[in-house]
Structure 1
């Protein structure tokens, strides 16, 4: 009898460990590699408003760290069929030409700039990083330096929480 209870207890503990190890994202957020992403597709805004929007939700404008995360972001941008642009969390406003992630305060180690970017096109006022749709490049998205006042769609990022955790 004790052996049977031990096996049941072990099975239950294993189930709970697996269940609680699964990632959980709030409604309308998409999970990838332990993080949650919100693609705000109905309300374009300038870069600062996008940063504030994410921060107000306990998140940050997305900081893309590698090619797999970039591919995830691009695929989701394509899935929404918006075309146009999405804000990323990078900027060179503090030191032109030195691109930093605005929340983690780290330099961009991985990049996916469009050909010829960043270029500060026609002025020195393109200091915010967006993911821009390029119809001329096989309908692809690439990184682009942009006027911070342009209206783009935010992509917010936050860590996922174990399923079953209390979110408040």
Structure 2
């Protein structure tokens, strides 16, 4: 971007009116492209808000993610999937030993994860307190050291928005 601005400055400082006009147009295109890119990123970066930590809330977040995908808002294998950072009892729903009891929720999470629609992470700090081992999680679920900090990072640094 700095190189582009340097080129624009050199063109603008030239004696030719055509070069100055070209520099202004190039700068305007860069500015408009930056705004469109930023707006597109914000519109595509979602963080599921899980407050009640229930299976119903988790399932609803997965269904909303699927609706975003079905509407075309999220692309297949998107580089910006909906993030689910879990740090409460809803994690028990996803454990391998509980699969038969919560098959519908786990299958939906696995399907959406396989297609890159969601990215599910579980808080390692919560897991230690609940005596849950990472080996008990299905392979499509990752972990983060501290869930609330990861949510804050996604919101503050990565431009995610709650949904």
User: Normalising TM by the smaller chain, what interval?
Assistant: 0.3 to 0.5
| Higher fraction of strand | 1
TM-score relative to the length of structure 1:
0.35
| Higher fraction of helix | 2
